Amino acid sequence: MIKVDDLHKNFGKLEVLKGITTSIKEGEVVAIIGPSGSGKSTFLRCLNLLEIPTSGQIWISDYKVTDKKTNIMKIRQNVGMVFQHFHLFPHKTVMENLTYAPIKVKGLSKQEAEKIGMDLLDRVGLSDKAKEYPTRLSGGQKQRVAIARALAMQPSVMLFDEPTSALDPEMVKEVLDVMKSLAHTGMTMAIVTHEMGFAREVADRVLFLDGGQLVEDAPPIEFFENPKSQRAQDFLQKML
């Protein structure tokens, strides 16, 4: 589904990613964890070209993302992304947030888009908020809308960039629950997170990044019970 080969990313002189090679299978849920500055967000943002890789190759469902000839817009339509700070469109209602891209980018009719939108709002438990503006929602509600907005494009991969890091503690669960149920539908997901409990419970694999390198790639039980590298052991010790 996703293949990454020797991915490098520099910001000026700073080398953030130092050659990452990995792959994600269809339907797999992968948690990407690591200390801040380890490059995990940059890695995720390279997957839909919000950051342009310095070198290396990325394939997503048979499209070579890093090929200049590939239509980036088409790739992005197929890869949903959820941000730490939600980034809902504040001048549009919840429903308009969900239907904007399907109508304007995919060319769906308003009725089709709203039907999909309503189903999704139901799924994230916010069908009563369709006509509200985002400013009226709590952080947890905003993030659930943001997930629904990404799903409205019916992507085959979902990327989550620290989706619960900006939330008040009591709102983390409602967002994680939505993500959990999404994982159960067989969605391919890559999640940058600090929620170790969630990673352990939901992820099929854990990628541990440190200093721009992929240090460990293991099933969660193995990673949390028996981390092989010293760096992962140190990291996990600090987390608890």
Partner 1 sequence: MNLDFGQFIPSIPYILKGIKVTLQIVILAGILGFALGIILSFFKISTVKVLGWLADAYTSVFRGTPLVLQLMLIYYGSPQIFGYQIEPYTAAILSFAMNSAAYISEIIRAGILAVDKGQKEAAMALGVPYGKMMWDIIMPQALKNILPALMNEFITLTKESAIVTTIGVTDVMRRSYQAGADNFSFFEPLIIAGLIYYIMVMVLTILGKALERRMRRSD
Under the criterion CB under 8 A, does residue 100 sit at the interface with partner 1?
yes
Residue 230's identity, in one-letter code, is: Q
From 2-10, 13-21, 67-75, 219-227, give the range in contact with partner 1 by CB under 8 A: 67-75
The label of the residue with tokens 């090679």 reads: 21
Under the criterion CB under 8 A, does residue 110 sit at the interface with partner 1?
no
Instruction: Indicate which single residue of 60, 65, 150, 187 sits in contact with partner 1 (rule: CB under 8 A).
Output: 150
The radius of gyration of the chain from alpha carbons, rounded to an integer in Å, stands at 18
Under the criterion CB under 8 A, does residue 111 sit at the interface with partner 1?
no
Task: Give the count of residues interacting with partner 1 (CB under 8 A).
Answer: 29
Under the criterion CB under 8 A, does residue 2 sit at the interface with partner 1?
no
DSSP annotation string for 115-170 = HHHHHHHHHTT-GGGTTS-GGGS-HHHHHHHHHHHHHTT--SEEEEESTTTTS-HH
From 21-29, 30-38, 89-97, 183-191, give the range in contact with partner 1 by CB under 8 A: 89-97
Backbone angles phi, psi at 13, to 5 degrees: -85, -15
The total of other beta-carbon atoms located within 10 Å of residue 230's CB is: 9
Q: Site residues (CB under 8 A) for partner 1?
A: 48, 50, 73-77, 79-81, 83, 85, 87-93, 100-101, 104-105, 133-135, 149-150, 153
